[in-house]
Amino acid sequence: MIVGIDEVGRGAWAGPLVVGAVLLGGVAIDGLTDSKLLSKKQREVLNLEIRQKAVAIGLGWVSARQIDEIGLSAALKLASRRALAHIRHDYHEIIVDGTIRLIDDPRVTLMKKADLLIPSVSAASVVAKVARDNYMKHLDVVFPGYKFAGHVGYGVAAHRMAIARLGASPVHRVTYEPLHKYQKANDKLFSPRPAKRTTRHIGDAGEDVAANHLVRLGHEIVERNWRTKYCEIDIVSQYGGTVYFTEVKYRKTDRQGGGLAAVTAKKQQQMRFAAEYFAVKKKLKNVDLRLAVADVTGQSPEVRAFLELG
């Protein structure tokens, strides 16, 4: 019962740092190795198998802005704690790839090249890599021009040219040496505005947070705010062979029962019609359709719960 820990995105210039934690529990999965040695297709296939067979999986995320605020070392430890918090089963040992003690636990063993030698660490490397790559693909749509889907935030020539042309985006790590000159400009441009935010603005932010949450779970966003004269769907996403239709419910406080309380039986009937109508319009065949709701709360929206409705 070994929990493997590995990180992805430490050296990237943009995007989040992601730490994976996997408890395989003795399950054998052929082909596991360091994710960097695998093709994109191999990683995606292994990722699905790991998610199906592992006893527990955790992902810890730290945003570029938070990396800039607390530094990379603290961010690595924070992401590791967040990943390990998802492992709610008994385990005997924690093996961390590398030589830095990211977890304060007597069961920790540090090991160079653990992602090549220990299956649970290899699995952590794979799930973290696939999750982060999918998220960077999402950011490619949000911030066009940087080509995040291709280089996933690393400092390759095409990325350097895009930064020289467009400047740094909100997801760039401006405390990294190559981006220092953009730090003051970003602090000024993206600092919180004193202007009052409307309910509509907060609701839109809630949908953004929900979409990001789904991407972190491994979903691919297919549609946002899909509308017809008959119905609408907040988020359509795909995970494996399943298409999810997610209703985002935002509540500033719990006084009205939270967002989940708003998904009544009548609302579920409307969601089911919308999902079936979407499937007909998009000619979806041989796919599993699932309804889901994202419960978003807080003045600074965050996902409190993601619930599949069937």
Instruction: Express each pLDDT in 63-94 by its tens digit.
Output: 898 899 899 999 999 999 999 988 989 999 99
Note the pLDDT of residue 261.
63
Helix 119-142 / helix 199-216 crossing angle, nearest 10 deg: 150
pLDDT above 60: residue 188: no
What 8-state DSSP symbol labels residue 297? E
CATH numbers and ranges of domains, the chain? 2-129 (3.30.420.10), 139-189 (no CATH), 199-308 (3.40.1350.10)
**pLDDT (tens digit, 9 = 90+) per residue, 113-163?**
999 999 999 999 999 999 999 999 989 988 989 999 999 999 999 999 999
In this prediction, residue 46 has a pLDDT band, given cuts at 50, 70 and 90, of: very high
The mean per-residue pLDDT over the stretch 32-58 comes to 92
Looking at the DSSP bridge assignments, the partners of residue 64 are none
**pLDDT (tens digit, 9 = 90+) per residue, 257-303?**
555 666 788 888 899 999 999 988 888 877 889 999 988 877 667 78
Compute the distance between CA of residue 256 and CA of residue 207 in angstroms, rounded to an integer: 19
pLDDT above 70: residue 98: yes
Compute the distance between CA of residue 147 and CA of residue 174 in angstroms, rounded to an integer: 18
**DSSP reduced 3-state for 208:** helix
This prediction has a pTM of: 0.65
- What's the mean per-residue pLDDT of the chain? 86
pLDDT above 50: residue 192: no
pLDDT above 90: residue 21: yes
Looking at the DSSP bridge assignments, the partners of residue 294 are 248, 306
In this prediction, residue 309 has a pLDDT band, given cuts at 50, 70 and 90, of: confident
For a pLDDT cut of 90, what percent of the chain falls above it? 49
In this prediction, residue 252 has a pLDDT band, given cuts at 50, 70 and 90, of: low
